[in-house]
Amino acid sequence: MAHLERALIFLALGAASSAAAEPLTITDAWIRATPPGARTAAAYLTIANTGTADRLLGGTTPAARSVEVHTHVDERGLQRMVRLAELGLPAGETVRLTPGGLHLMLVDVAAPLAAGASVTLSLHFAAAGTLELEVPVVDARASSPTTHPAH
- The torsion angle over the Cα atoms of residues 17, 44, 65 and 130, rounded to 10 degrees, is -10
Q: What is the value of pTM for the model shown?
A: 0.79
Mean pLDDT of the 85-109 span: 96
What separation in angstroms does the CA of 142 have from each of 22, 37, 64, 115, 117? 35, 20, 24, 10, 15
Q: Are 137 and 119 in contact (CB under 8 A)?
A: yes
Sorted by where each starts, the structural domains of the chain and their CATH numbers stand as 23-138 (2.60.40.1890)
Checking if the pLDDT of 147 tops 90, the result is: no
- Per-residue pLDDT of 22-55, as tens digits, reads 799 999 999 999 999 999 999 999 999 999 999 9
Query: DSSP string spanning 21-47?
Result: T--EEEEEEEEE---TT--EEEEEEEE
pLDDT on residue 143: 55
Find out whether 148 and 135 touch, Cβ atoms under 8 Å. yes
